[in-house]
Amino acid sequence: MQVKHNYLVHLTKVFTLVFCDILLIVASMVGALWIRHDFQLSAIDPEFLETLLLYLPVNLFCTLLVFKLCRLYNNLWQFAGIMELNSVVAAVLLSTLLQTAGMALLRLRIPRSYPFLYILLLFLAVSASRYLIRVLYRERQRNAAAQPDIRTLIVGAGGAGNMLLREIKSSRQVHRVVPCIVDDDPVKRGTYLHGVPVVGDFSAIPRCVQEYQIQEIVIAIPSLSPARKKALLEICQETACKTLTLPGIYQIVNGEVSVSMLRQVDINDLLGRPPVELEMEEIMDYVSGKVILVTGGGGSIGSEICRQLALHRPRLLIVFDIYENSVYDLQHELLDRHPDLQLEVLIGSVRNRARVDSIFETYHPDLVFHAAAHKHVPLMEDSPNEAVKNNVLGTWVVARAADAFGARKMVLISTDKAVRPTNVMGASKRICELVVQRFSQTSKTEFAAVRFGNVLGSNGSVVPLFQKQIEAGGPVTVTHPDIIRYFMTIPEAVNLVLQCGALARGGEVFILDMGEPVKIDDLARKMIRCCGLVPDRDIRIEYIGLRPGEKLYEELLLNEDNLKKTAKDRIFVARQPEVDTAWLDHEVEELVSNAFNETGDIRARIKRLVPEYEPRANRAPAEAETPAS
């Protein structure tokens, strides 16, 4: 019934347009003679009127047929643009040529200026009628809107700004009105885009917000460099307006997003450095055709490693994790995107030597990416024995199996918290680095570690926590006003891991130059401002104190003298000193044994392996307040 109703509505609209066009055609024919005779009907030659009367049926039939062929009755005129205008021009021109030719063939007398006046009148009349449809539609949508329009300032009068403004003016889903635009191009200042003035450059944003009562700012310059975007965002944040960004034009053209999909400013935009671009095709040659095992494959980093590997045709990808829900979702995602992918999803713990050995014996992986670990700092402070069991023992079990079953490479996912650790998690990861260093000294397998900082958007990251707290109305909890962290995106972290696999020759710790560290308090305030809110006024920031095992400053290297550049920009390698394998084997065995015996003094045993490990509570206040060199 609904389909039939919609069809009847469509037919009604078409017949209405046809009827209007008949009136417009007649009016244009008479109007052309009226103008030709100086706007005096009495001055028109009766023979010319007889010509119009005789040719009117033929002209109506031919013109309506041409209009039909030019789709003047099929276009959605409420969204009309240049293409529809071209259709009107073509239809009017062709119908006028047919009328002129027909009158000539029938030898009907008509003034020589008639065709020129007729085509002008008909074009204006038909265009105006279609434009009226668009105006009425937009007015009806505006009146039907359930919410008031948001006064929006667009930053950028280029291609993206043009597409955005067009959709704002035509879409019923976008309840916005744009009183002005700003653009840094001096040529565009003082011009108009779809009737909206370009009133100044980026520095004019605060003035425009006040003058035009702006509620929301949309950045429509996808090509901005990270540094310029950061500077622009800082200007926007001074206004307390909600700030949104528009995806790139290439994404719109490719159908990945629509112009309506404005997104809140990604926190990546606030970091102020360009993403690390790696030559993935070059470095992924070592992946194609290989059997690859990813432990902890259901986690944030592990799952992204799997996604990237699946793009490069491995012979077999094995996802190993103890948590079945996350790998179940990943399994369906990978097979949906890559139907030809040879995939095995296995459940089990890296602490279980028999289970790990059976996987290596069955599949003989060429490459191993070891991402399985307990990573949450405060939780590991409360359960230090579990950090040792899962991180240290798990790494030892996987590394021993990689060695015993002849894997070509094994890459350990480490952390900046392994440098001068103040918590059990960081200290346990430092021991993991020592473990892969130990095996690299005695094995044909190439072992390496990747050390990086906090990963944006990962499980347990501060950014999702802040987003949830802002959505809940606050407060946003920051541990300390001076705490700083290095940040990187999940793709950057995974790129580094895969790059490490290509460059590894045994015993390296790979490090990414992540630029300047970010102050967490500043990060929280910027996120609040990006939502159009004012920190400490609309959303309260609450300082809750450093959590167990947490320190103010994270580091990436213990001794910068060991740092060397690789062939790739911003990728560095730190060669590690050799370890006493017999001593390490004994100490790790004792450490794991103590952990399984649930000793209450596991930290003392950890410190035997990592002398630089100092629990935060034991540090002198002055040392904890300043960044380590």
Active site residues: 417
Helix (H, G, I), strand (E, B) or coil at 376: coil
Residues 6+ apart with CB under 8 A from 116: none
| Residue 107 three-state SS | coil
Q: For residue 169, what are the contacts with CB-CB under 8 A and spacing of at least 6?
A: 138, 194
Q: In this structure, what token pair is assigned to residue 17?
A: 């347009």
Cβ pair 453, 554 in contact under 8 A: yes
Of all residues in the chain, what percent are helix, strand and coil, respectively (each to 5)?
50, 15, 35
Counting beta carbons within 10 angstroms of the beta carbon of residue 162, is it exposed (0 to 12), middle (13 to 18) or buried (19 or more)? middle
Cβ neighbourhood burial of 41 (10 Å; 0-12, 13-18, 19+)? exposed
Q: Is the dihedral of CA 299, 305, 307, 313 positive or negative?
A: negative
Closest CA to 457 of 466, 446, 444, 448: 466
**242 has which bridge partners?**
216, 531
Dihedral, CA of residue 160, residue 162, residue 163 and residue 165, to nearest 10: 120
Q: Burial letters for 496-531: b for 16+ Cβ neighbours within 10 Å, e otherwise?
A: bbbbbbbbbebbbbbbbebbebbebbebbbbbbbbb
CB 549 within 8 A of CB 378: yes
List the structure tokens of 75.
């276009």
User: Cα angle vertex 135, ends 132, 137, to 5°?
Assistant: 105
Residue in the structure block whose two tokens are 């040392």: 623
Q: How far lies 586's CA from each of 261, 273, 583, 589, 605, in Å?
A: 58, 44, 5, 5, 12
Q: Can you tell me the distance from the alpha carbon of 161 to that of 150, in angstroms, rounded to the nearest whole number? A: 17
